[in-house]
Amino acid sequence: MTPSYIIPGAERGGIFVVIAAFNEEKVLAETIADVARVTRNIVVVDDCSTDLTSAIAQACGAHVIRHPINLGQGAALQTGIEYAALLGADYIVTFDADGQHCADEILPMVEALKQRDVDIALGSRFLGGVKNLPRSRRLVLKLAIKFTQWTGGGRFTDVHNGFRVMSRRFFTHFKFDQNRMAHASEILKYIAANKIPYIEFPTTVTYSQYSLEKGQSNANALRIIMELLLKRVSR
C-alpha cells in the first residue's frame, strides 16, 4: 500500500495514532485527551457506530473517518493506517479506544523502535504490567500465545495486544486483510513469515469494568480460530 498522493495541506511526518472505535462514546473523549498529550495527530475510525462516537472524536479535534457499514476492528485500523499514510505519517501507532492502554508509553515505544532500527514494536502486557485481568482471560491469552506458536505465527510473549508502533517501511508493505479480531493474529503471522525485524515492548494494560464488557469475550477465541481457518479455505 503506497499512498498515491499526500492530502494537500496535511502536516507531514510525525507520529500518528490510529484508534478504531465502535460505539465508544463513554470513554473516547478521555482516550483522545490522553493521547493528545503525546501527539496531536490522532485518527479515529468510527466503524459505523450508532452513538456519538464520531461527534465526540470530531469535537476532540481528531481526524475522523466513518465507515458507511460496520466492518470490524481490523478493517477500521487498515482504513486509519491508509489515511495516516496519506497524511505523510512516519510512524503509526495503533491504540485501543476503550482506555486500557497508557498513552505515556507511546513515545518510549517509538524511541525503542528507532533505536533498535526495527520495523514494528509490539506491546506486551506480559513483559510490562496488567491490571485487573480476570483469571479466565489470562488463561485464554496464554492459550492464544501457544496457538499462535503452533500455527506458525511465531513466538511472542503476548498476542492480541492492540498497542503497536509501525514504521513507514512496515505500513507501506503490510495490509490488514482480516476485517475482524483475527487481524491481531494476521499481523503476527506476517511478521514471522517474512522475518520482519520487531521488538516486543513492555506495556501496561488496565482492564476496567467497561473494557471487560466492551472488549472481546473469551468465546471470541473460537471465532478468531474460525476466521483464520476460513481465510485459508477461501484463499
Partner 1 sequence: MIFSILLTVAFVVMSLYALAFMGGRRLGKLLLVFYAVAVFIVWHPEASTKIANFTGIGRGVDFGLMLVSVLSLNLIIFLIHHVHQLHRQLTLLARSIALGQAITARSALPSTPTAPAEGECTDLKAGAE
Chain positions contacting partner 1, by CB under 8 A: 7-11, 25-26, 28-30, 32-33, 35-37, 40, 42, 45, 51-52, 55-56, 58-69, 71, 75, 78-79, 82-83, 86, 177, 179, 230-231, 233-235
Could you tell me the smallest distance in angstroms from the CB atom of residue 159 to partner 1?
23
Report CA 63 to chain centroid distance, whole Å: 17
How far apart CA 81 and CA 22 sit, in angstroms, is: 17
Q: Are strands 164-167 and 120-131 parallel, antiparallel or unpaired?
A: antiparallel
Nearer residue to partner 1 within complex by CB, 23 or 206: 23
Q: How far is the CB of 118 from partner 1 (least distance, A)?
A: 28
Q: Are 141 and 160 in contact (CB under 8 A)?
A: yes
To partner 1, the closest distance from the beta carbon of 142 in angstroms equals 30
Shortest gap between Cβ of 109 and partner 1 (angstroms)? 19
Closer CB to partner 1, 55 or 102, in the complex: 55
User: Which of 223, 199, 202, 211 shows the shortest CA–CA distance to 96?
Assistant: 211
Judged by CB, which is closer to partner 1: 143, or 230?
230
Distance, CA of 183 to CA of 179 (rounded, Å): 7
Cβ closer to partner 1: 28 or 130? 28
Strand 164-167 versus strand 91-96 pairing type:
antiparallel
Q: What is the grid cell recorded at 22?
A: 465502535
Q: In this complex, which beta carbon is closest to partner 1, that of residue 25 or of residue 90?
A: 25
Q: For 15, list phi and psi in degrees, rounded to 5.
A: -95, 130
Which CB sits closer to partner 1, 144 or 182?
A: 182
Own/partner contacts of 209-212, CB < 8 Å, gap of 24 or more, are 210/26, 210/27, 210/98, 210/99, 211/96, 211/98, 211/99, 211/100, 212/132, 212/134, 212/137
Tell me the closest approach of the beta carbon of residue 190 to partner 1, in angstroms.
Answer: 17
Q: How far is the CB of 130 from partner 1 (least distance, A)?
A: 26
